[in-house]
Amino acid sequence: ITVNGGNVTVTNINVAAGDLAVENGNVTIGTREKRGALSVNALSVAAGQNVFLDPAWSGDAALDTVANASHLAVSEITALNGNLIAGQNSLVAVGSTADEAVAGFNALTAANSGLGWGESNVTAALYVAKPISFAAGSTGKIVVDGNLTALPTDLANYADNVNIAEYGMLMIDQAAIGSETAAINGTLSLANGSYVGLVNANEGTIKLANTVNVAQGDVVDVVTDNPFITAALSQDGNSVAASLDAA
């Protein structure tokens, strides 16, 4: 599917679209009233164009689960010069199915008391099971910000490449990414109050990105789905070190 000169909205149903190229226009997955779900093999977004996920919260904790969020599952991001934005109650999965990302999040919540999905907990997430690469000098952005209830008109407040806002979570499938390759070939910015979650966690070092920005004094919560494995950002912030919790 090529979007060139129009806007596309996906709601209610799970849509499998093959390859998706957003050349001129916006793709919205979910609305303020209804969730949406889209899976594609390859995604490309041209400069200045947007893919935005956003369903409103229902206000019912039983319904406001990660399984009921808006979902975008992408086998591979081939070119991202525009913007991929996970707003409120939204989940983006790269290199996996949405169901696998949901299961990964639920495994994290099972291993970490108090962690959950909802308006006052994790509000949006990005699941990475295949490395995401940005071309040198790319101004493309992936924004994970559950405070967003509509497509923002100005993204200047977000740094280039991947941004995880407060109450947003970056999930890394450690088994799929391994220790030799960065999950993000580009820059990752982690805000105060954001999360990094390791799924299929084991001992080892996981390179998050080529460059990771965390402001001095900001706190990023690193969690794993393995109660016997603890993890923390490395001193340079670019990696996560996972180790056996002897306690």
pLDDT tens for 29-75 read 988 888 999 999 999 999 999 999 988 899 899 999 999 999 999 99
Beta bridge partners of 22: 3, 45
What average pLDDT does the segment 188-204 reach?
96
Q: How far apart are CA 76 and CA 198, in angstroms?
A: 20
Whether 138 shows a pLDDT value over 90: the answer reads: no
Per-residue confidence band for 19, with pLDDT thresholds at 50, 70 and 90: confident
What average pLDDT does the segment 219-241 reach?
91
Dihedral of CA 238/222/88/12: which sign?
A: positive
CA atoms within 13 A on the CB side of 76: 6
Whether 247 shows a pLDDT value over 80: the answer reads: no
Q: Kindly report the backbone phi and psi dihedral angles of residue 20, in degrees, each rounded to the nearest multiple of 5, phi listed first.
A: -125, 120
Please report, for residues 24, 102, 174, 201, the alpha-carbon distance to residue 242 in angstroms, rounded to integers and kept in the order given. 42, 22, 10, 8
What would the two tokens of residue 202 be?
A: 């084991």
User: How many H-runs (helices) and E-runs (strands) does the chain carry?
Assistant: 2, 20
Q: What's the pLDDT score for residue 25?
A: 87
Whether 128 shows a pLDDT value over 90: the answer reads: yes
What would the two tokens of residue 88 be?
A: 């409120």
Per-residue confidence band for 205, with pLDDT thresholds at 50, 70 and 90: very high
Whether 4 shows a pLDDT value over 70: the answer reads: no
Whether 171 shows a pLDDT value over 90: the answer reads: yes
Dihedral of CA 107/209/98/76: which sign?
A: negative
Whether 15 shows a pLDDT value over 80: the answer reads: no
Instruction: Write down how long the chain is.
Output: 247
pTM exceeding 0.85: yes
Q: How far apart are CA 190 and CA 62, in angstroms?
A: 29
Q: How far apart are CA 223 and CA 242, in angstroms?
A: 10
Closest by CA to 159, choosing from 143, 182, 148, 147, is 143
What would the two tokens of residue 188 be?
A: 């990752």
Q: How far apart are CA 212 and CA 57, in angstroms?
A: 31
Closest by CA to 166, choosing from 146, 189, 194, 144, is 194
